[in-house]
């Protein structure tokens, strides 16, 4: 699909566009047949703006997530568009203790995170509420951070998260006992 901006009558970056974005989000015009539930913490206005700029890219991401064989994919990287515009990483890992976890944030990509198997906690805070623990790594598009307080949400099959550059997130934290999880992270380039 060619990635042309959506034809919208009003600038989605203006306050009036936020209402349009919320209605668009609620109608699930983005889902491509994928029936997972979006976490209520997703920035709907930012999602609408990003989708409006790159509808083909987001459509390809959700089409991939709607695959009937999603749970049976092998761990690894899946190129969904050329030039690193869109790719998926499927991983298996054991959840970690909260004290061993760091928040992270990105500048060039949004993350769609979805657990195919298992359960974990994901911390979510505004980037402005964090303290860096090192410099931003331009090549890997990541900075690691710390945040005070309990800002965790439960991630499990059937619920997904989207994190934009203003969202610091701390994935992979155990819920109760450490467990093996299987997870897909789709990286959507925002430029």
Give one DSSP letter per residue of 142-178, joined into a string.
BEEEE--S--EEEE-TTEEEEE-TTEEEEEEE-BSB-
Indicate the average pLDDT of the chain: 91
Q: Which domains does the chain possess?
A: 15-189 (2.60.120.370)
Confidence band of 18 (pLDDT split at 50, 70, 90):
low
| pTM of this structure | 0.89
Confidence band of 15 (pLDDT split at 50, 70, 90):
very low
**What sign does the CA torsion over 16, 19, 22, 27 have?**
negative
Q: Is the pLDDT of residue 156 over 80?
A: yes
> First and final CA of the chain: distance in angstroms?
17
Coil vs helix vs strand at 79: strand
pLDDT digits (tens, 9 = 90+) for 30-69: 999 999 999 999 999 999 999 999 999 999 999 999 999 9
Arithmetic mean of pLDDT, 112-118: 98
Arithmetic mean of pLDDT, 166-187: 97
């Amino acid at each position: 699909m060619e990635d042309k901006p959506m034809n919208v009558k009003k600038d989605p970056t203006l306050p009036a566009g936020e209402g349009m974005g919320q209605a668009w989000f609620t109608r699930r015009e983005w889902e491509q047949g994928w029936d997972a539930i979006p976490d209520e913490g997703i920035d709907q206005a930012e999602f609408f703006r990003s989708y409006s700029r790159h509808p083909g890219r987001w459509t390809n991401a959700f089409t991939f997530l709607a695959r009937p064989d999603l749970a049976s994919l092998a761990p690894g990287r899946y190129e969904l568009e050329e030039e690193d515009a869109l790719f998926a990483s499927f991983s298996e890992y054991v959840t970690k203790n909260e004290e061993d976890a760091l928040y992270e944030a990105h500048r060039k990509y949004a993350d769609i995170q979805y657990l195919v198997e298992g359960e974990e906690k994901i911390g979510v805070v505004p980037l402005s509420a964090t303290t860096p623990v090192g410099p931003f790594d331009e090549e890997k598009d990541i900075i690691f951070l710390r945040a005070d307080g309990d800002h965790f949400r439960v991630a499990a099959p059937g619920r997904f998260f989207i994190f934009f550059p203003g969202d610091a997130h701390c994935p992979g934290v155990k819920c109760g006992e450490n467990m093996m999880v299987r997870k897909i992270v789709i990286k959507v380039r925002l430029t």
